[in-house]
Amino acid sequence: MKDSELMEKIVSLAKRRGFVFPGSEIYGGLAGTFDYGPMGVRLKENVERLWLQMFRDSRDDMYGVDAAILMNPKIWEASGHVSGFSDPLVECEKCKKRFRADHLDDKEKCPECGGSLGDARQFNMMFKTHAGAMEDDSATVYLRPETAGGIFANFKSVVDSMHPKLPFGIAQIGKAFRNEIAPRDFIFRLRELSQMEVEYFVQPSEWEQAFEEWRKMMHLFAEAVGIPQDKVHELEVPEGDRAHYSKRTIDFEFDYPFGRKELWGLAYRTDFDLSAHANASGAELSYLDEETKEKFIPHVIEPSLGVDRTVLAILASAYREDDMGGETRTYLALAPKVAPVKAMVSPLLKNKPELVEKARDVRAELQKVHPAIAWDDNGNIGKRYRRQDEIGTPFCVTIDFDTLGEHPELEGTVTLRHRDSGEQERLTVAEAADRIRSAIE
Ligand code: GAP
């Protein structure tokens, strides 16, 4: 299958099966925005939950915040985003279309109409709006372009309220907004996106050790969500290409169907942000080491992970087509931990009340393992399996007449079908529950 064809298939499955819909679709859409549907929202939440577990909750040195998206504009002046968060923009003199200069092979000729392109200028990517009833410059606020800003702005409050010992970190998941010149590639380059970010504060001399620790953690996270290691590549970003705040950056790139592109980033932000905010706000943002009585501005390591790019990498890694003797079986080989539905329970026939009643009992039993156990009694069993395959449900459990004791030695057993192999096992309900439990734990 060609890569462009694979991308089309992923986009089509995502819409057909309720993962991702074009934003504002009934009004013709809005570029750079997508909405997560019933299955997508579960997949996204599972990714976020796993990240919270691994990056925040399993550690004693991590704290959470949920900062406001709208913040005092001075934050973005101090952080350098007002003056420097921009991409090079060129406009065609003939058709007036605008492009990102660094994405064009031919910098002189318009890729749409062949007209000549004007000079590149810097275009600031922050969305601007006004707070309150005044619409003048004094009321300008920005939609945050990275969640990191809300973490730095809360550094002092976290220190004053929690008294953490260095090294420690602050984690946050939330929306960020970037007025991308050319949003593209489905949920890869968005204007409204979600980020999972950590700012990890360290002694200046300890940044390299922390950098290595978070680097490993990012690989572990890729593995946990089902992104294969051989599709993830580290790129040491050269000085000229790094963000203004970074002294070292590694991009974690993924082999997307449209090419190898940035999935996540790991940056050493030094004391750039806390120093800039201390200078601009006058607040005391240094850390006092109680033992040595030394006072200094901590340095920062920042693992920054886009939720949407993670979801796309998961979908691209999981998409499979099997040839079943002329018929194609499509399925998502999702890691059970992130799969929106963990198992589907169905009675073999829906017009047999005794089968339906038993299947309801089995479902209730399996929901003690995990609530995301679906019910499906529509169409024949083959169709039910196909539907679950396409949303990546790892197991299907069927209740038939043997469950009710048609063959007494099989009474109380069910069939458990495995998504990837299509193989079926005859198990007791307790054994089926164990299989599901061990797959998602
Ligand atoms: N706080 C650091 C920061 O924001 P970044 O490299 O600009 O760094 C971090 O963004 C991550 O956010 C990226 O690695 C990517 O996963 C995600 N991201 C950035 N821009 C995006 C966009 N336009 N659409 C979707 N995800 C994006």
Q: What is the pLDDT of residues 333-349, one digit of tens each?
A: 999 999 999 999 999 99
For 294, the 3-state DSSP assignment is: coil
Nearest CA to ligand 1 atom 13: 264
Nearest CA to ligand 1 atom 6: 265
Residue 191 identity (one-letter amino acid): R
The residue to mutate among 309, 310, 311, 314, having the most atoms of ligand 1 within 8 angstroms of its beta carbon, is: 309
Please report the atom of ligand 1 found closest to the CA of residue 262: 14
For the entire predicted model, the pTM comes to: 0.96
Please report the atom of ligand 1 found closest to the CA of residue 183: 23
Separation between Cα atoms, residue 196 and residue 224, nearest integer Å: 15
- The reported pLDDT for the residue numbered 2 is 77
- The reported pLDDT for the residue numbered 326 is 86
Cα(13) to ligand 1 centroid in Å equals: 25
Please report the atom of ligand 1 found closest to the CA of residue 251: 14
Nearest CA to ligand 1 atom 11: 306
Where are the extended beta strands (E) located within 257-391? 259-270, 287-288, 295-296, 299-306, 319-324, 327-332, 343-347, 373-375
Cα(5) to ligand 1 centroid in Å equals: 26
pLDDT in tens, 40-87: 999 999 999 999 999 999 999 999 999 999 999 999 999 999 998 998
- The reported pLDDT for the residue numbered 333 is 98
Domains 3-70+154-315 and 341-440 are alike in CATH topology: no
CATH of 3-70+154-315, one of 3.30.1490.100, 3.30.930.10, 3.40.50.720, 3.40.50.300: 3.30.930.10
Q: What are the b/e assignments for 44-71, b being 16+ CB within 10 Å?
A: bebbbebbbebbbeeeeebbebebeeeb
- The reported pLDDT for the residue numbered 403 is 95
Cα(344) to ligand 1 centroid in Å equals: 35
Which residues approach ligand 1 with their CB closer than 6 A?
Answer: 146, 148, 178, 180, 189-190, 193, 195, 197, 262-265, 302, 304-306, 308-309
pLDDT averages per 10-residue partition of the chain, 441 residues: 88 98 97 98 98 98 98 97 92 91 90 92 94 85 98 98 97 98 96 98 97 98 98 97 95 97 98 98 94 95 98 98 91 98 96 96 98 96 96 98 92 96 96 97 89
Domain borders along the chain are 3-70+154-315, 341-440
The residue to mutate among 86, 193, 264, 314, having the most atoms of ligand 1 within 8 angstroms of its beta carbon, is: 193
Question: What is the dotted CATH code of the domain comprising 341-440?
Answer: 3.40.50.800
The residue to mutate among 225, 262, 305, having the most atoms of ligand 1 within 8 angstroms of its beta carbon, is: 262
Separation between Cα atoms, residue 29 and residue 318, nearest integer Å: 27
pLDDT in tens, 347-390: 999 999 999 999 999 999 999 999 999 999 999 999 999 999 99
- The reported pLDDT for the residue numbered 325 is 85
Separation between Cα atoms, residue 441 and residue 435, nearest integer Å: 10
Please report the atom of ligand 1 found closest to the CA of residue 252: 14
Cβ contact 219:234 at 8 Å = no
Instruction: Give the mean pLDDT of the chain.
Output: 96
Q: What are the b/e assignments for 293-310, b being 16+ CB within 10 Å?
A: eeeebbbbbbbbbbbbbb
Q: Specify which residues 414 forms β-bridges with.
A: 427
